[in-house]
C-alpha cells in the first residue's frame, strides 16, 4: 500500500481546497492543497496562503507540490490555543520539506498569536529553508564568517533552567530559543530576565535559534 503523508492521514472531516498547479503566475508540477481542520475556512486566509505559496515558487521554481494544513486544537482548561499551520513541500529528488510547530511556539513568539501570524511564521520558516536548499544546490554555500562578524546582542526574555533552555529577545523583538549547551561562556543557571547575551543566529527544526551564546560581561 502506498504510504500517505501526514496531511492525507489527518485530512478526514476537514475542509480541503484543491486547485490547479498555477499559483500567482507560476506553474507548479503538482496540485496545491489547502486544508482547514477544526477551524472554519475563510476566503482571506486561503488567498493569503496562495499568495505566500507564490512567493515560495519565486524563491525555488522546482516545487512539485504544496500542501498546507491549518489546524485549530481544542481549548485546554478554557484557555485559547492559537491555530497552527503545517506545510509539506514536494521537491523532486529529495524528501518533502516539512514545516510544523506547536501552539506553544507561537504563544512564546507573539503576544497575541492569531491565524495571520501563524500563516506568516510558517511560511517565513519555509522560505528560509528553501533559500538554504537553493544555495546548496547552486554551490553557493560558503564557509561561515568569523563569529565576531555574525554575532548579535540580545536580552534574556525567559528561562526554563529545569528543562535546559531559555528564550532571548532580539533587537527586532523576535524570540529565539537557546539550549544550555549553546552557552559557550558564562553560567547558564545564573541567567535572569534582562541579562544581555551575544549570540549567532542559526537554523533549528522549527526556524531560527540562538547558537554560540556568550553572556555579556558587566561593565
What residue numbers bound the domain in which 204 lies?
147-215
**87 and 161 together in one domain:** no
Closest Cα partner for 122 from 26, 53, 43? 53
**111 and 47 together in one domain:** yes
pTM: 0.56
Tell me: the pLDDT tens digits for 13-24? 455 565 544 544
Residue 35 backbone zone (phi > 0: left; psi -120 to 50: alpha; other: beta): beta
Instruction: Assess if residue 1 is contained within a domain.
Output: no
**95 and 38 together in one domain:** yes
Residue ending a domain, among 94, 111, 137, is 137
* Contact present, 58 and 127 (Cβ < 8 Å): no
**58 and 131 together in one domain:** yes
Average pLDDT over residues 26-40: 81
- Of 29-33, 141-145, 148-152, 194-198, which gets the smallest average pLDDT? 141-145
pLDDT at 78: 62
**Mean pLDDT, all residues of the chain:** 79
**What's the structural domain count of the chain?**
2
pLDDT at 155: 93
Amino acid at each position: 500500500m502506498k504510504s500517505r503523508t501526514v496531511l492525507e492521514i489527518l485530512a478526514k472531516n476537514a475542509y480541503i481546497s484543491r486547485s490547479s498547479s498555477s499559483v500567482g503566475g507560476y506553474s507548479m508540477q503538482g496540485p496545491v492543497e489547502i486544508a482547514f481542520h477544526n477551524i472554519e475556512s475563510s476566503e482571506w486566509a486561503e488567498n493569503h496562503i496562495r499568495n505566500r505559496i507564490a512567493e515560495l515558487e519565486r524563491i525555488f521554481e522546482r516545487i512539485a507540490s504544496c500542501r498546507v494544513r491549518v489546524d485549530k486544537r481544542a481549548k485546554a482548561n478554557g484557555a485559547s490555543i492559537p491555530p497552527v499551520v503545517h506545510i509539506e513541500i514536494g521537491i523532486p529528488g529529495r524528501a518533502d520539506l516539512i514545516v510544523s510547530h506547536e501552539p506553544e511556539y507561537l504563544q512564546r513568539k507573539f503576544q497575541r498569536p492569531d491565524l495571520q501570524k501563524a500563516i506568516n511564521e510558517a511560511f517565513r520558516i519555509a522560505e528560509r529553508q528553501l533559500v538554504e536548499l537553493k544555495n546548496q544546490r547552486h554551490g553557493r554555500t560558503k564557509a561561515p564568517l568569523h563569529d565576531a562578524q555574525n554575532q548579535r546582542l540580545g536580552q534574556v526574555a525567559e528561562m526554563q533552567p529545569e528543562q535546559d533552555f531559555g528564550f532571548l529577545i532580539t533587537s527586532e523583538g523576535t524570540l529565539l530559543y537557546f539550549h544550555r549547551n549553546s552557552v559557550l561562556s558564562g553560567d547558564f543557571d545564573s541567567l535572569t530576565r534582562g541579562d544581555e547575551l551575544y549570540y549567532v543566529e542559526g537554523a533549528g527544526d522549527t526556524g531560527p535559534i540562538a547558537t554560540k551564546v556568550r553572556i555579556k560581561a558587566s561593565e
